[in-house]
Structure 1
Amino acid sequence: MKLIGIQRNTKNEKRYNSRMGILYTRVTYIKKAILGIPFRTLHKYRETYYGEIKDCESCVLSR
Structure 2
Amino acid sequence: MRVSIDSDLCIGSGMCALTAPGVFDQDDDGFGTVRPGREDGAGDPLVKEAVRGCPVRAVTVEEQG
What TM-score, normalized to structure 1?
0.24
Tell me which protein shows more helix as a share of its residues.
2
What TM-score, normalized to structure 2?
0.24
Name the larger-Rg structure. Answer: 1
Tell me which protein shows more strand as a share of its residues.
1
User: Higher relative contact order by CA 8 Å / sep ≥ 6: 1 or 2?
Assistant: 2
